[in-house]
Amino acid sequence: TSLFLSMQLMGYSLALYAGYFQGMDPAARQLLQWFAAAVATPVVFYSGWPFLAGGWRSLRNRTANMDLLIALGVLAAYGASLHALFFSGEVYFDTAAMIITLILAGRLFENSARRHAAAGIDRLLQLAPEMANRLDAAGNCTRVESALLQAGEQVRVLPGERFPTDGAIAAGETEIDQSAATGEALPLLRRPGESVLGGTLNLLAPVTVTVSHAAADSFVARIARLVEDAQARQAPIQGIADRVSAVFVPLVTVIAGGTWLYWFLSGSPDVQPLLAAVAVLVIACPCALGLATPTAVLVASGNAARRGILYRGGDILEATARLNHACFDKTGTLTTGRPQVVAIQPAGISADELLATAAAIEAESTHPLATGICRAARERALPVTPLPQVHTHPGLGLTAQTGQGLLLAGSRTLLAEHGITLPAPGIATATEIHLASGGRYLGCILLEDQPRPQAEAVIAGLRRMRVRTTLLTGDSLAAGTALAARLGLDEVYGGLSPADKCTEIRRLQQAGKRVLMVGDGINDAPALTAAEVGCAMMGGTDIALDSSDLVLTRPDLQRLFDALLLARRTLSIIRQNLFWAFAYNLAALPLAAMGKLAPIHAAAAMAISSVCVVANSLRLGRQ
């Protein structure tokens, strides 16, 4: 509407300008001025209403903002034109209307960028189907909305359908495609007891799934909320723009008043006092300053989400850009998280009995070491009965009460705390799981894990970025040192409890380091919280994901390097935007005050500056 009416208005204005230089019949001139007023009025009071209302609210709240500058400039030009209309002067309705039109055009471009950046959220939410096949106790199938599903219910998913929410396979086996959710390119085989994510595609066979999360709490929904929250949270550097704007707006209002007074008293025939003051108000509108940080954060977080990287906010994105030290957990983070049993060392019982006992206490645990032990027991076809009431001791191991007494499975520290005498350490690079029952030592299971394929390259990349690296592991110092030497980490600390990891992080912070902690287990949650930025990878525990500031939705360490690189690029773009916004205002204000810029030129320059800031931020979407 504003653009259409402004185009009509410019036609009338061009005719008036031509008549001003070449002469025009007074009656025709008066008629054209009335037409211009009729066209400009809806632009000012309809299209420009958001600015007028915003300016009025800022006056009522006594907090001057950019809407106030726009409103003052537009109303001054419109009011002066009305006065000239009734007293045979020159009208500037085109100035008032074009200020509104050009600013709205800039905001339209900004909103287009915002929608583009947020499109990834919509695509995520559209993955999950609206309807699901719910099974009742008798096995009958009913079509219901996916949003109505509750944890514990069962659903039937046919080949070619998407899983309505997160759950675990209860019957049947199939291959799934979860590339849209996590980026995993290859189909994954899922058997009974294994988890599936809502929105992933069933490829081969019908399966029955037990719902583990309601649709609103599914992985896809949680990721979408994370992205939305990230785009809403401000980066601390935004405070610079906010503080400057709070002082800048009233200062510019005073400068505009001084400009009008100066040119009014000077009586210069070359400069219209009102137009010079309006130009000052318009050119100084800090739209570009207000867009400098939010647009960059918005585009960067949207781009990151498409690449499987989730910053929990603009503040986290900025903190990530400033990191200079990275701490890593070992198992499941730098390694694949699929430890293999390499040796069984029983003491007084058979190897199969030791392995079956360990699998019984580890059966319900999601720790990678527990998974490796249970996998080895299945491969040997050992009978395993999961123990009830197993207690987890983060960073140490598990305990459970049995008929033979207290069963312990875990590190040397756990058994030593219960007075168990242990043999000398075994293979230097292996992780040890010791077992004891009723005060008697049963033996040790040794597991080894392979580094992730990308780990060495990522550590090398961090070194090039001048980020020092430290390995913090609950495993033995020997096992940690071997892995650190293989990957090229700078420091290694072994045999650490969760509290010890926090202590090491605080020690680094006290030394002036800005620390990133990367982990995936329950025992990493305190350290993730203690660090400036905590990072967890998809596939870790829920508590690790909930404690983290940066989430990698794909179990790919390369994403960590990409996250740091994108954060640094984003901070650089924000600084460029702020420099441009400040430089533009400092350069243009004197020109407007000197009468060298007409209000319409000032509005165009202000709109172009905002477009430049948004366009510069959009470059982050291509990196």
Residues marked as catalytic = 329
Side-chain-facing half-sphere of 136: CA atoms under 13 Å: 6
Contact of 604 with 270, CB cutoff 8 Å: no
CA distances 188 to 103, 177, 184, 200, 421, Å, are: 51, 7, 9, 11, 44
Alpha carbon distance 611, 614 (integer Å)? 5
The separation between the first and the last C-alpha atoms of the chain, rounded to the nearest angstrom, is: 36
Alpha carbon distance 496, 328 (integer Å)? 12
The phi and psi torsions of 539 (rounded to 5 degrees) equal 110, -15
The phi and psi torsions of 234 (rounded to 5 degrees) equal -80, 150
CA torsion 473-478-484-485 (nearest 10°) is: 180
Alpha carbon distance 540, 519 (integer Å)? 8
Question: ∠395-397-398 over CA atoms, to 5°?
Answer: 140
Tokens standing for 178? 């979860």
Alpha carbon distance 508, 498 (integer Å)? 16
Alpha carbon distance 553, 559 (integer Å)? 9
Alpha carbon distance 92, 13 (integer Å)? 8
Tokens standing for 28? 């025709």
Which residue type, as a one-letter code, is found at position 490? D
Contact of 63 with 250, CB cutoff 8 Å: no
CA distances 213 to 137, 147, 171, 336, 554, Å, are: 19, 11, 18, 26, 20
Beta-carbon contacts of 153 under 8 Å, excluding residues fewer than 6 positions away, are 134, 135, 210, 211
Alpha carbon distance 306, 218 (integer Å)? 18
Alpha carbon distance 240, 293 (integer Å)? 10
Contact of 332 with 540, CB cutoff 8 Å: yes
- The residues pairing with 391 across neighbouring beta strands, listed in sequence order, are 399
Contact of 203 with 174, CB cutoff 8 Å: yes
What one-character DSSP code corresponds to residue 148?
Answer: G
Tokens standing for 422? 């242990």
